[in-house]
Amino acid sequence: MASSFYHKLVNRSIVAKHVTEIGVYHPQTSNVYEFILHGIQTTLVEADPDIAKLLKHEFATYSNVRIYNVAIYDKKTTIKFVRKGSSSFVSDLQNVPAVINDGVSMEDVEYIEVPAITFDEIDTGDIDILSVDIEGAEWFVLKHMISRPKVISIETHGGLYVNPFLPSIQKWMRENNYSVWYKTNSDTIFIKNSIIDLNILDKMRLFLQNRAIALRRLRKQVKRNITAPFFRGKKRS
């Protein structure tokens, strides 16, 4: 994933001087890992204090990396944060992948309290590449963002999950002159209209990606509809 993201930008001659990732998880899974290795100025934002420690240890010798151990939210506050590995999320947002796809019960989760800020508190206004994967809270980043990056990668879908703020995200993108460049199994990558002209191959790939995403969602829904009666019956017995 990280290699694909990096090389797609390099192959289209998109130059980055400052990249930012919000919701990093483990160092090697970072969507901007290769940018870091190539010495690009990088800002990493991670809410989980244990994960933040891993990042600080991994990148301790990298002078180009700055790490913030905070959650990005709609206001400055202290929030309850649900620890679920790479699917950890803000407890106020329950329409999240861990709940929608994995059936996580909010009655059986581990909470920790973490500080939360709005993104404009750390946005220096010069971000070229932005990657955001914070389990449904991505809209809060855009809402308070100062920068207008060349490329923005956002988790918008996956399995049965659809980002609860997708209409607001899409509206923001249109108003700020972004178009969908391509999609992965979970992310939509938007690009500033002035950066590249999307060619016919880009549009064909996007069409096929949309079809594949819709087909995967349909298969998962059919599978859930088939298995749900069995589990309900098993629970009653």
Beta bridge pairs of residue 113 = 80
Q: Is the pTM of this model over 0.85?
A: yes
pLDDT tens-digit readout, 30-53? 999 999 999 999 999 999 999 999
pLDDT tens-digit readout, 195-231? 999 999 999 999 999 999 999 999 989 988 887 665 4
Report the phi/psi class of residue 190: left, alpha or beta, with left for phi > 0 and alpha for psi in -120 to 50: beta
Q: What is residue 88's predicted lDDT score, i.e. its pLDDT?
A: 86
- Average per-residue pLDDT in the chain? 91
Q: Which domains does the chain have, with CATH numbers?
A: 2-197 (3.40.50.150)
pLDDT tens-digit readout, 85-122? 888 888 888 888 888 888 888 877 888 999 999 999 99
Name residue, tokens 């090389």. 7
Q: Nearest Cα to 130, choosing from 173, 77, 90? A: 173
Region 132-156: what's the mean pLDDT? 97
- Quick check: 165 pLDDT over 80? yes
Exposure string for 25-61, b = 16+ CB within 10 A, e = fewer: bebeebbbbbbbeeebbbbbbbbbeebbeebeebbee
- Quick check: 236 pLDDT over 60? no
CB neighbours of 59 closer than 8 A, spacing ≥ 6?
27, 36, 44, 65, 67
**pLDDT class for 235, splitting at 50, 70, 90?**
very low
The angle at the Cα of 204, spanning 203 to 207, to the nearest 5 degrees, equals: 85
pLDDT tens-digit readout, 70-86? 999 999 999 999 888 88
Residue type, 94: Q
Region 21-33: what's the mean pLDDT? 94
Exposure string for 109-126, b = 16+ CB within 10 A, e = fewer: beeeebbbbbbeebbeee
Q: Which of 73-77, 123-127, 178-182, 223-227 has the lowest average pLDDT?
A: 223-227
**pLDDT class for 137, splitting at 50, 70, 90?**
very high
Higher pLDDT among residues 94 and 127, named by residue: 127
Calculate the alpha carbon distances from 71 to 42, 133, 196 in Å. Answer: 17, 12, 32
